[in-house]
A and B are shown apart, each in its own frame.
Chain A
Amino acid sequence: MVRFDNVGMRYGSGTEILRDISFRLPRGSLTYLTGASGAGKSSLLKLIYLGHLPSRGLIELFGQDIVTAPRDALPLLRRQIGVVFQDYRLIDHLSVFDNVALPLRIAGTAKADIAAHVEELLGWVGLSDKMRATPPELSGGEQQRVAIARAVITRPRLLLADEPTGSVDPELGDRLIHLFLELNRIGTTVLIATHDVAMMERHRAPVMRLIRGELSIGDH
């Protein structure tokens, strides 16, 4: 599903902030990506969701080499990846409904299907009564649930979450993890970047640890 071989990454002409990264995420797996702040977790996710190109090495997504892939092939790959950004990246002037519907609209889903899907999913994340609100009118936890709904509305094959429990209380954090576990059970490959040790102990899964830009793999 995801394969990295000796990948390096740098911003601009700076030094490499990721070095010799090699790993595989099997189909249907759930994996934690951990490491101290600044270790490069967000940057590694960025490589996977095609937000940045590696400075060297090989990256394969769904069996396709993304470094040699033509630019026009990338949007279709991105549509198979759901991302919950650390800062949510919702569109403030669109309603909750329109934010969550956005990936379906971009993919050209029929209007009737969009309404049904979005309403069902917003019910599932407990935001049925906030569909017409805009993100600035929501609490942090509600915004995060909108971000998650937008990330999974297209039933992506791969779900990436960047510090999903970072800014919510432990109880809500637990509910989020259950949501990810649920999605994982129905076949979604999940990668969660986090430094929430308590969470990783409650819900055990393989852990990839970044230490100053280098990866060590093993159980927590």
Chain B
Amino acid sequence: MIACFQRLRLLPRGALSNRLVPAIIACMVFLLCLAGSAALILHAGLAGFQQELAGRYTVELPADPKGPADPATIARVIDRLALDPAVLSAEPVSTGTMARLLAPWLGRDASLGDLPLPTLIDIAAVPGSTLDTAKLGAALQEVAAGATVAPAVTSLKEIGELAFAVELAALVVVLLIAACLVTVVIFATRAGLAAHLRLIEIVHQIGAFDRQIAGQFSRHFLLLGLAGGVLGFVLSGLLALAVIALAGDAQSPFLPAGTTLRSSLLPLLAVPVAVAMIAGATAELTVRRALRAQV
């Protein structure tokens, strides 16, 4: 019985709400997808960054005014490090890498040879294990006096707190936009329905059940919401593709391997689906409320 009723196209094709509702929803979905992808990238980036730094330590050999530390000393230090079962690998940081790291402060063309720089040795720990930096540092004194061992970032905890604060801010932005989106969907749906109150009343009077009428409207607005949601999603996807094309989807220094704009957009596919469902449910509830006001 209901199937037959639904064959009828009860709602006008050219109605203003047919264009307005998807347009408004598309804008909001676009914004939400942007904020959401930014938050997801940030989350993945920070998590990866932390994870990467977590297993890294640096040995610092004091600067020698006579020039770089001699290779024999470096080799002895690396041999000594290899004895520690928690050490996965140890490699001296090359002068090229040093130059790159220091470029922001010294300028690209600075000659490092003129500077009394310490020698750094990068240690990767066996995943899941922690180095006893004090013990290792004491042991190193035998082969290189003055050598110190420290986690790559002295204060991993601080970075963790910063990451948490940044992610919390991103989450708040996403939640605010999501709240706006839900509100807009509800209001746009209601406004779209207001134009059809007479229609609802007539169909009701002719003997339609509430569920027949509400079903027509919820289906209609579900489709409008889906159209707007997909449009907004596609627009934000296009923007992401444009960014990829301009910047290249290359490995950003801040992002761990495998984090790309492309992969970050996928979970956001849930947004247009959720929006469509909210629009449909709002239409269903609003129509049922309008009908309950009648006999």
A residues whose Cβ falls under 8 Å from a Cβ of B:
49-53, 72, 74-79, 83, 89, 91, 93-94, 98, 101-103, 105-111, 150
CB distance from A100 to the nearest CB of B (A): 11
Cβ of B16 under 8 Å from chain A = no
B residues whose Cβ falls under 8 Å from a Cβ of A:
1-2, 4-5, 7-8, 10, 12, 14-15, 198-199, 202-203, 205-209, 212, 294-295
- Besides A52-B295, A89-B202, 6 other CB < 8 A contacts? A75-B207, A76-B207, A101-B8, A102-B8, A108-B5, A109-B4
CA distance A53 to B292 in the complex (A): 13
CA distance A93 to B15 in the complex (A): 10
**Inter-chain contact B4/A49, CB cutoff 8 Å:** no
A51-B295, A52-B295, A93-B12 known; A83-B205 Cβ under 8 A:
yes
**Inter-chain contact B207/A106, CB cutoff 8 Å:** yes
**Inter-chain contact B207/A72, CB cutoff 8 Å:** no
7 pairs from A and B in contact (CB 8 Å cutoff)? A53-B295, A83-B205, A89-B202, A89-B205, A91-B202, A106-B206, A108-B5
CB distance from A149 to the nearest CB of B (A): 13
**Inter-chain contact B202/A78, CB cutoff 8 Å:** no
CB distance from B215 to the nearest CB of A (A): 12
Residue of A51, A83, A109 with highest tally of chain B CB at under 10 A: A51
CA distance A105 to B208 in the complex (A): 9
CB distance from B195 to the nearest CB of A (A): 11
CB distance from A48 to the nearest CB of B (A): 12
| A90 to chain B: closest residue by CB | B202
Measured between beta carbons, the chain A residues less than 8 angstroms from B208 are: 75, 106
CB distance from A106 to the nearest CB of B (A): 5
Measured between beta carbons, the chain B residues less than 8 angstroms from A52 are: 295
**Inter-chain contact B8/A105, CB cutoff 8 Å:** yes
CA distance A3 to B116 in the complex (A): 109
CA distance A79 to B209 in the complex (A): 11
| B14 to chain A: closest residue by CB | A93
**Inter-chain contact A74/B202, CB cutoff 8 Å:** no
Which of A72, A74, A111 is in CB contact (< 8 Å) with B7? A111
Measured between beta carbons, the chain A residues less than 8 angstroms from B7 are: 105, 111
CB distance from A38 to the nearest CB of B (A): 22
CA distance A78 to B204 in the complex (A): 9
CB distance from B189 to the nearest CB of A (A): 19
CB distance from B18 to the nearest CB of A (A): 11
Which of B4, B12, B199 is in CB contact (< 8 Å) with A105? B4
CA distance A77 to B206 in the complex (A): 10
Which of A75, A77, A78, A108 is in CB contact (< 8 Å) with B4? A108
